[in-house]
Structure 1
């Protein structure tokens, strides 16, 4: 499943890049378009769809209680992996494009302030006519010889300091703080609890001494779905009042999310099943296929608000994509159930 979710992000990014090249949106919307095409709503929608599908009569997934148990596990794993990819991949895509736009705006503003009538040009060309005092040029021969050996200076730098400096520069470029968003942190803690058996015995189970932690987390999780639905409704309401977006841009995002990605997902999942990379559980295959047919992730709106790039346009895109999601998800879910039966 982690590889399948990664495929949805990578294929969606590739299709989004093609869409950007065709429609040529403004630069501040390129990150938004790539994010909407790459990241699907791996969170509350699978948690709503899968239990409903398990309760259907004639479902190909077996007993409803067993289907509900395993389906919620698959949906929870999908939500955790999607959150990690969203805040480590899509977040940085939007950040890169919004940063370049902000830098251009700041440069233009600085130029307009510094050069209202040619003042900056005078500073650059005519005001620095004084000569440096002769004392500043008196450099000893020994110091000059030392400065002529940069390789020796580099060799004297501690290796640990160089590694630390490189990691610091990498963290600035990638912005690793986004990896520790609340959803990502919760997913990492959940993985640690599930993987380490000693911790799992203390928290999970009817006789676990710290089972109150699991009960509290379950109560909060049950309230998360209606809360996220309310937040989604608020974002869609903003889309009614949002500014205009290119019509072909919205049509392209809808085509990527609801036509091309599901078709490519069918090819990928069926190919993996044929080569024995995916086991033949119909419910598991259904979850893998469903990950390709979901609307854009809701947290993309949060990311655009953080950087102030494309906030109103994101609301309009969310309005149209989620407005058509009821039709698209119904059709694709029925087709996927027939396909895995």
Structure 2
């Protein structure tokens, strides 16, 4: 299998995404205004509350079972590694570029969170169907790829809203109120200063000291829980993932809803019908949002190209080391498609939900558009080249002879 065959197999899915994205940009131009700003916000709400949850739940319910979820246990760990390594690289970039405070959450978020759902749901089935693909029978490959992409989408959504949302929330709060302080004043603990001094006196009883410390720790946890919005974890996509997991892994429920003879299969079919619309609509919205990036913003080129370097140079290199190490230790079964998905998770453009989160807090929207413009514009080259290289690695070192 030659390099050009692999390159062609990898480039076609990315080009499909690019074509739909360009169409979205065209529809968003002022002279056309079919996909203008107000329209994009309304459609984005439909995607967020309806289409994405239906997509996640229907795909998970159809493809995830207790048996295969056990075999894919390393994928959530792999996604967590992409977030950790991306965050560390994002912090290094901030030390070098010194961005304003309100953009720090955006920078770390775009470095940490990749497009782990929609991109994979487009790329993987298309790669399976391309001639020259190293992943065997196209139909079997396509079914497995949807299971992998669905699990990736579900786990990525949970991490996204648990980590990036709260990260942006903290930095956005600091930019709006520079007087906020994480350190709790003594008066907020409900303990008088003189009582605290008396209780911390060396001659005081040990039990009194413990009670004071426990009270302070309790107040710290209360303040942290107020800052950390755990309700955001249960975004509609996360709820859809939970529903999909339950249907797919609980055998009696699965028999009721999944399969051609299932009595309640119409519910699953309806959810699939609605969810399938998410992929092209999200690509159109991406294109419309990218148009805003053409008008520029105050973000520096150092930050933009730093994020590009993190997403398309350093993260994929770390990904090769991580996945190769997991294979060597026997943590990952040597299924070529599964290994390809784990590698590709390190080489994707930033998650589009970064833009949604910035819109929610009203900070860094134009800067986010510029970042998305460059990262998605370069995706047609970078993701294709990395996909080709990953398939070459897999064909040489993973695929049985």
TM-score (norm 2): 0.69
- In the other structure, the counterpart of 1:253 is 307
Equivalent residue number for residue 64 of structure 2:
none
Distance 1:243 1:280 in 2: 45
Contact map agreement 2:110 2:307 (CA 8 A) in 1: yes
Cα offset for 1:219?
0.6
1:9 alignment counterpart: 83
Instruction: Say whether 1:183 aligns with 2:257.
Output: no
For the Cα contact (< 8 Å) 1:290–1:333, is it kept in 2?
Answer: yes
Which residue of the other structure, out of 338, 359, 375, is the alignment partner of 1:321? Answer: 375
Using the TM superposition, give the Cα deviation of residue 83 of structure 1 relative to its aligned residue in structure 2, in angstroms: 0.5
**CA deviation string 1:193-230 (max 9, x = no partner):** 22222222221122222111110111112111011011
Q: Deviations over 1:242-262 (max 9, x none)?
A: 413111101100000000000
- Assess if the C-alpha contact under 8 Å between 1:179 and 1:185 holds in 2: no
Task: Quote how far apart the aligned CAs of 1:170 are.
Answer: 4.9
TM-score, with structure 1 as normaliser:
0.81
Matched, 1:300 2:354: yes
Deviations 1:9-42 (A, max 9, x none): 0100000001001110111111100000000001
Alignment-derived partner of residue 148 in structure 1: none
1:41 aligned residue = 115
In structure 2, distance between residues paired with 1:48 and 1:311 = 26
* Larger relative contact order (CA 8 Å, sep ≥ 6): 2
Aligned partner (choices 324, 329, 332) of residue 278 of structure 1: 332
Gaps of 5+ in 2: 1-74, 182-206, 212-216, 396-401
How far did residue 183 of structure 1 move?
1.2
CA distance in 2, matches of 1:174, 1:295: 26
Deviation at 1:171, TM superposition (A): 3.5
Q: Which residue is equivalent to 1:79? A: 153
Partner residue in 1 for 2:172: 98
Encode CA deviations 1:111-136: one digit per residue, 9 max, x unaligned.
xxxxxxxxxxxxxxxxxxxxxxxxxx
The one of 184, 206, 218 equivalent to 2:272 is: 218
- Give the secondary structure class of the aligned counterpart of 1:104: coil
Preserved CA contact (<8 Å) 2:170 2:227? no
Q: Which has the larger radius of gyration?
A: 1
Deviation at 1:55, TM superposition (A): 1.3
Give the whole-Å Cα distance in 2 for the aligned partners of 1:262 and 1:243.
28
Residue 52 of structure 1 is matched in structure 2 by 126
Distance between the aligned counterparts of 1:167 and 1:214, measured in 2?
41
**After superposition, what is the alpha-carbon deviation per residue over 1:33-60, rounded to whole angstroms, capped at 9, x for unaligned?**
0000000001111111111111121211
Does the alignment pair 1:88 with 2:142?
Answer: no
Q: Distance in 2 between matches of 1:207 and 1:170?
A: 50
Q: Show CA shifts across 1:71-121 (max 9, x none).
A: 1110111111100100001111111111111112899xxxxxxxxxxxxxx
C-alpha RMSD of matched pairs (Å):
2.5
**Does 296-305 or 174-183 show the bigger shift?**
174-183
Paired residues for 1:125-204 under 5 Å: 169-204=223-258
- Aligned length in residues: 295
Could you tell me which residue of structure 1 aligns to residue 393 of structure 2?
339
Residues of 1 paired with 2:226 and 2:179: CA distance?
A: 21
Q: Which runs of 5+ in 1 are unaligned?
A: 108-150, 156-162
